Chains A and B, each alone.
Chain A
Amino acid sequence: MRRLNKINIYIVFCSLIVVLGAGLFNHYFSFDADRILEKSLLKGRTFQGNVQQISSKDGYIHAYLMEEHSVPLVAISFGFEKAGRAYENKEGLGVLIKSTMLDGAGKYSRQNLRRLMKEKGIKVGVDVSADRLDFSLTYVKEFEKEAIDVIKAILYEPHFDEKDLTLARQQLAVIRQQQKESPSYYLGRLVDKHFYGQHPYGRENIADDAALLSVKREDIRAYLQKVMGKNNLHIGISGDINRKKAEDVLEEVFGGLVDQAGVHQLDEFVADYNASEAEVDVAFSAQSFVLMLARGVKRLDKDFYPLYIADYIFGGSGFTSRLNKAVREKEGLTYGIYSYFTNSDGVDLWQIYFSATPENANKAVDIVADEYQRLYQNGVSKEELENAKRGLLNSFNLRFSSLVQIAEMLKVMQVQRLGADFLQKRQDKVRHVTLEEVNTAIQQRMPKTLKNSDGARWFYVRGQKNKKNVVVVTKY
């Protein structure tokens, strides 16, 4: 007994050391993320972005404003709804506007306008998407007056000289040719042809030469005057500017627009998610490019957040998504694979996209289908949901790092009808999503399988097996 007792004590003694050792080992050598954050010097810092709704005196022009006075800069983003490429009454208007709108305006020649902008640090951007015509203006506060002069000249008195239009048409042709050097171009055309068909969404982003040639200066001017109205305008302002001044700027810059824009209605687009797959061979590519399209979800739909989180877990979050783990990390079949939702005026989509060598692409498609079955049948787990929510909550403040980014976000909040209190509400909306909501939404709103003709459309650009491009050099 004594002996036994001794052994027992010895065992107890030893195990204590082991336990103690394990404790010390954990303390010094294991990595405890939560403990690091709990003890962090920097924890508990919060931030509240304050969005003000502002209006011009006449009450016709509205904007969201976020003041930020720590740097002497101002960023303004604004866009006209239903003034994008899909709404054009003449194909090619949008791209020509984008290419030539800064080639001289009002009293400024092309050369003088560019020089003034560069010298005073005034940046103007023009962009045209399928749905919208968008602008951005960024300036140093010291040169506010000059910046306003410049943007007014561009909006109301752009030159569109024939010389500039001719050059732009040639340069757009070059860009169109260069696009054709990339397999993703052929993927886009495949979708245009087989998914969008005759709908304006199926038009090539750069119209053909004949179309570009038929767009004249008068067409552009008449079009712009018609589609830039106060009623289809959304404005976001951020930076070193107070409410009073911002309201004056609204009046001064946008006061000259027509009250009601005369925009076309977009033809209704009826998506077919059950038609067969489509493919095209590309001789110069060693990789295949793959795209899947399925029905998406509207931004204001009650299931938006549950579905957004489901997608985040499945393929939206990047390195740790289920798709990336299964196809890239575990099998090494691709450099990257993503899924995401997109919204436009005419259609809301859910998409999956990746590229891989032809053999790997086929394997990857099978894995994607299997992974999707697992999602559809078993849903996501409690732990996955909690991690996704934490990721979305924790990354929220990153959107406030740049004034340009804030102004753009404020504009998009209006385009998407999210409301001025969106930033307050968003965190709670994410926080309150339940496991049941996510898994029910997957069952009710997503395709039963990702097999083609069953709610999912697949598009393939087929690369060539064992293709080796060799640059044959000729000296001369």
Chain B
Amino acid sequence: MVALLLPFSAVAKLLDVSYFTLDNGLEVAVIENHKAPVVLQMLYYKTGSINDPKGKNGIAHLLEHLMFRGTKRVKDQMFSHLTDKYGAENNAYTTYNETGYYEFSDITKLELMMALEADRMQNLVISDEAFLKERDVVLEERMQRFETKAAPLFYETLNKLLWQDSARAQPVSGSAEDIKGLKKEDAEDFYKRWYRPDNALLVLSGDIKPKEAKMLVEKYYGGISVKEKLMVAQNQVLPPRQTDMFIKAKLVGVEQSRFVNYIRIEPNALNNKDVLALEILAEYFAGDDTAFLYDALVYQSKKLLGIDVGIAYDKDTGGVFSFYATPADERAEASDIWKWIERAVEDGIAAFDADKLEKIKHQILSDTVYLQENPQDAARFVGGMLLASYRVEEIENYDEIIRAVEVKDVMDAWHKVLESQVKIKGYLERAEQ
């Protein structure tokens, strides 16, 4: 095992990350990569659909669209016109707890991208015309994602059941009913409350030195002032009502039955070490087709044709430990499917030992080496870690944190999952045409 712990010796630190905070509260991380004269600017706002007010579900996402439709100084379509003309790949996305904007450009164009991003942090103007058209676009987006295929709608339903009355039960895209009722003022209120430097994280990744970066970030973002104190959202996740539910759904358009099990994990139930331990466990269970559950259920017993296990967690808003499975025989009883998985999980837990842990750790380590290869991947990795409140030294030496995980840590974390109060199992059946 010793030999296994020594490879990748050429790599001193996983990544070099410089980190600082401006007086106005903007957090900044800089990752150097001088392979090519390009840079990714990634701006995260720490807000998302979880902050959609009741009855206004979808406003965080609609605002993300409106951010491209003009400011006091950069009017109408000028933002997109400039990013196109100066060759920047750019887009944005919304999740339940973050909203990200990025521009990937030649290094010589970075200052313009910073000026544009800083401008729309403070000067957004929403015209009636743009608001109404963009609301239509968002409805079409919702249609394309959820009303043209059956499975996404099913997962959305499970998510609703899982988060009960909490804001996390709302879909990121918004429900069609809510979207239709959104007003321009809703977007303006959301923008005023959440889009501010002290609620944002800026990551620059690529051909830039920390010193230059700091100067430029000061120049473009330093002047944005913060007047009132940030009002942190309260009670986004309400206490769980004990539920262990099994649901079935038949939907037209489903050609392949599938099984899902979502296990809800409460805010602050896990620390960062627990989350990492569960990532290791998910990798051990089903990280690839030689993993434990795959081997047992697909390769050996042939009961399933595929299995996936995942953990997604945020300490403020909680998370989900999930199982997805495709049965080999569609006539299988849905309740049996979980029994097979549950038994195999128990076997897997019993068989988990230091040897197996070392192997999984090593697999994860070998993947992290590739972060040096791609500045965009590195930015997303570092951004995600900072949002999860990892310290910079921990990110730079993430390999050491991985190495420090012990079998006991994995078992402890798994027991925390088992203590969950809310478990929703679901079976999506093929509908007879």
**Chain A positions near chain B (C-beta within 8 angstroms):** 29-31, 33, 36-37, 40-47, 68, 70-73, 75, 110-111, 114-115, 118-121, 123, 138, 140-143, 167, 170-171, 174, 177-178, 180-183, 282-287, 289, 317-320, 325, 328-335, 355-357, 360, 387, 390-398, 400-404, 463, 467-469, 471-476
Q: Is A42 touching B7 in the complex (CB atoms < 8 A)?
A: no
What residues of B have a CB within 8 angstroms of the CB of A31 in the complex? Answer: 73-74, 78, 115, 119
Q: A36-B112, A335-B141 are in contact. Are A181 and B254 (CB under 8 A)?
A: yes
A29 to chain B, nearest CB (A): 6
| Distance A392 CA – B106 CA, assembled complex (angstroms) | 12
Q: Is A402 touching B216 in the complex (CB atoms < 8 A)?
A: no
Q: Is B112 touching A37 in the complex (CB atoms < 8 A)?
A: yes
**Chain B positions near chain A (C-beta within 8 angstroms):** 4, 7-11, 34-38, 68, 72-74, 77-78, 80-89, 104-112, 115, 119, 132-137, 140-141, 143-144, 146-151, 153-154, 156-157, 161, 206-208, 212, 215-216, 245-256, 288-290, 295, 298-299, 302, 305-306, 326, 328, 335, 359, 362-363, 366-367, 369-370, 372-376
A165 to chain B, nearest CB (A): 13
Q: Is B149 touching A73 in the complex (CB atoms < 8 A)?
A: no
| Distance A31 CA – B115 CA, assembled complex (angstroms) | 9
Chain A, Cβ-Cβ closest to B129? A330
What residues of A have a CB within 8 angstroms of the CB of B248 in the complex? Answer: 473-474, 476
What residues of B have a CB within 8 angstroms of the CB of A44 in the complex? Answer: 108
With most chain A CB atoms within 10 A of its CB, the pick from B88, B140, B153, B251 is B140
Of B111, B157, B290, B362, the residue contacting A111 (CB under 8 A) is: B290
Q: A73-B370, A475-B247 are in contact. Are A334 and B137 (CB under 8 A)?
A: yes
Q: Is B373 touching A285 in the complex (CB atoms < 8 A)?
A: no
What residues of B have a CB within 8 angstroms of the CB of A115 in the complex? Answer: 290, 359
Of B108, B133, B366, the residue contacting A40 (CB under 8 A) is: B108
Chain A, Cβ-Cβ closest to B256? A177
What residues of B have a CB within 8 angstroms of the CB of A46 in the complex? Answer: 37
Chain B, Cβ-Cβ closest to A283? B252
B277 to chain A, nearest CB (A): 19
Q: A398-B38, A401-B35 are in contact. Are A42 and B107 (CB under 8 A)?
A: yes
Q: Is A181 touching B149 in the complex (CB atoms < 8 A)?
A: yes
Q: A115-B359, A174-B305 are in contact. Are A110 and B290 (CB under 8 A)?
A: yes
Q: Is A118 touching B255 in the complex (CB atoms < 8 A)?
A: no
Q: Is B249 touching A474 in the complex (CB atoms < 8 A)?
A: yes
What residues of A have a CB within 8 angstroms of the CB of B363 in the complex? Answer: 118-119
| Distance A390 CA – B215 CA, assembled complex (angstroms) | 28
What residues of B have a CB within 8 angstroms of the CB of A395 in the complex? Answer: 87-89, 105-106
Between-chain CB contacts (< 8 Å), 23 pairs? A29-B73, A71-B35, A114-B288, A121-B367, A142-B9, A174-B326, A180-B255, A182-B148, A287-B140, A320-B80, A325-B77, A355-B140, A392-B87, A394-B85, A394-B86, A394-B87, A395-B88, A395-B89, A397-B106, A402-B375, A402-B376, A474-B247, A474-B248
Q: A72-B11, A174-B326, A403-B373 are in contact. Are A284 and B290 (CB under 8 A)?
A: no
Q: Is A37 touching B149 in the complex (CB atoms < 8 A)?
A: no
Q: Is A181 touching B255 in the complex (CB atoms < 8 A)?
A: yes
| Distance A469 CA – B80 CA, assembled complex (angstroms) | 35
Known: A395-B87, A472-B249. 9 other contacts (CB 8 A): A37-B108, A71-B372, A123-B370, A141-B10, A390-B87, A394-B106, A395-B105, A403-B373, A473-B247
Of A41, A174, A472, the residue contacting B256 (CB under 8 A) is: A174
What residues of A have a CB within 8 angstroms of the CB of B109 in the complex? Answer: 37, 394
Q: A41-B215, A181-B150, A473-B249 are in contact. Are A335 and B104 (CB under 8 A)?
A: no
Q: Is B305 touching A391 in the complex (CB atoms < 8 A)?
A: no
With most chain A CB atoms within 10 A of its CB, the pick from B73, B215, B249, B253 is B253
Q: Is A287 touching B86 in the complex (CB atoms < 8 A)?
A: no
Q: Is B369 touching A140 in the complex (CB atoms < 8 A)?
A: yes
| Distance A75 CA – B110 CA, assembled complex (angstroms) | 28
Which 9 A-B pairs rank lowest in CB-CB distance, beginning with the nearest? A394-B87, A284-B253, A332-B136, A395-B87, A121-B366, A286-B147, A400-B36, A319-B80, A332-B133
Chain B, Cβ-Cβ closest to A404? B373
A180 to chain B, nearest CB (A): 4
What residues of B have a CB within 8 angstroms of the CB of A404 in the complex? Answer: 373-374
A382 to chain B, nearest CB (A): 14
Q: Is A42 touching B108 in the complex (CB atoms < 8 A)?
A: yes
| Distance A40 CA – B108 CA, assembled complex (angstroms) | 8
With most chain B CB atoms within 10 A of its CB, the pick from A120, A319, A401 is A401
Q: Is A335 touching B38 in the complex (CB atoms < 8 A)?
A: no
Chain B, Cβ-Cβ closest to A392? B87
| Distance A356 CA – B289 CA, assembled complex (angstroms) | 38
Of A70, A141, A335, the residue contacting B137 (CB under 8 A) is: A335
| Distance A395 CA – B9 CA, assembled complex (angstroms) | 35
What residues of A have a CB within 8 angstroms of the CB of B366 in the complex? Answer: 118-121, 140
Q: Is B85 touching A283 in the complex (CB atoms < 8 A)?
A: no
What residues of B have a CB within 8 angstroms of the CB of A468 in the complex? Answer: 147
What residues of A have a CB within 8 angstroms of the CB of B249 in the complex? Answer: 471-474
Of A70, A318, A320, the residue contacting B34 (CB under 8 A) is: A70
What residues of A have a CB within 8 angstroms of the CB of B10 in the complex? Answer: 72, 140-142
Q: A335-B141, A398-B105 are in contact. Are A181 and B256 (CB under 8 A)?
A: yes
Of B156, B256, B373, the residue contacting A178 (CB under 8 A) is: B256
A348 to chain B, nearest CB (A): 25
A237 to chain B, nearest CB (A): 15
Chain B, Cβ-Cβ closest to A332? B136
What residues of A have a CB within 8 angstroms of the CB of B212 in the complex? Answer: 41-42
Chain B, Cβ-Cβ closest to A464? B147
| Distance A461 CA – B254 CA, assembled complex (angstroms) | 17
What residues of A have a CB within 8 angstroms of the CB of B110 in the complex? Answer: 40, 42
| Distance A175 CA – B412 CA, assembled complex (angstroms) | 37
What residues of A have a CB within 8 angstroms of the CB of B367 in the complex? Answer: 121
Q: Is A170 touching B140 in the complex (CB atoms < 8 A)?
A: no
A401 to chain B, nearest CB (A): 5
With most chain B CB atoms within 10 A of its CB, the pick from A70, A181, A404 is A181
Q: Is A400 touching B77 in the complex (CB atoms < 8 A)?
A: no
B423 to chain A, nearest CB (A): 13
Of A119, A138, A335, the residue contacting B4 (CB under 8 A) is: A119
Q: Is B34 touching A286 in the complex (CB atoms < 8 A)?
A: no
A66 to chain B, nearest CB (A): 11
| Distance A334 CA – B133 CA, assembled complex (angstroms) | 10
Q: Is A387 touching B85 in the complex (CB atoms < 8 A)?
A: yes
Q: A68-B35, A392-B87, A474-B247 are in contact. Are A121 and B148 (CB under 8 A)?
A: no
What residues of A have a CB within 8 angstroms of the CB of B207 in the complex? Answer: 45
What residues of A have a CB within 8 angstroms of the CB of B119 in the complex? Answer: 31
